[in-house]
Amino acid sequence: MSPQIRRAFAYFFRACRLRCVECGTKPIFTPLLKIRSLRDYFAPLDGCPRCGYAYERETGYFLLAIWAINYGVGSLLGISLYFYLEWNYRLDLPVLLASVVLPVIGFNLFFVRHAKALFLALDHYFDPHLNDDGSNGGGGSGKQNPPPSPAPIVPQTAPVPSEPAALV
């Protein structure tokens, strides 16, 4: 097995165990028994206390984890569950919808931590940032050119239509 594939598997299994994707020893989130608020459940810790790996690189870093991984997997689960129930049982529509939507909501609440951890693993595999000194590719952090100034407004004087001569 090549080192890259071995590294990918290591990151994947560390993420499945909600462990730091870099060192694999410390947790990414507050342990369940120590949770005091919703934020403790949903938000990852600032970084790994052992290796210093920063879990959240920037504000909104985990948006893609939520929209793509968590909602994506939840949607696939919901679609699969819908077709399974539709083909095997004759359920009324409200019962069918409740049987699909409620488990998906529960799954997404359970899976949100894993979605973020898997996103961390993916990002660390494709774009590692061991020492976050601002030299991690730096896309988009350069100075931007000022927007071009708008073209000067030249007043246009339309010729005033002459009044037709009054007929006497």
- Residue 11 binding Zn ion, by CB under 5 A: no
Based on CB atoms, which residue is closest to Zn ion, 82 or 125? 125
> Pattern of binders to Zn ion over 72-111, x per CB under 5 A?
----------------------------------------
Report in angstroms how near the CB of residue 26 gets to Zn ion at its nearest. Answer: 5
Interacting residues with Zn ion between 12 and 71 (CB under 5 A): 20, 22-23, 48, 50-51, 53
**Residue 58, Cα to own-chain centre: how many angstroms?**
12
> Which residue, chain included where needed, has tokens 């990002």?
123
Phi and psi, residue 82, nearest 5°: -60, -50
Based on CB atoms, which residue is closest to Zn ion, 18 or 48? 48
Supply the DSSP string of 41-71, one letter for each residue: HHSPPSB-TTT--BS--STTTTHHIIIIIIH
Based on CB atoms, which residue is closest to Zn ion, 48 or 121? 48
Nearest to 112 by CA among 67, 66, 72: 66
With DSSP H G I counted as helix, E B as strand and the rest as coil, what are the percentages for the chain, rounded to 5?
50, 0, 50
Report in angstroms how near the CB of residue 29 gets to Zn ion at its nearest. Answer: 13
Based on CB atoms, which residue is closest to Zn ion, 51 or 96? 51
| Residues at the contact surface with Zn ion, assessed by CB under 5 A | 20, 22-23, 48, 50-51, 53
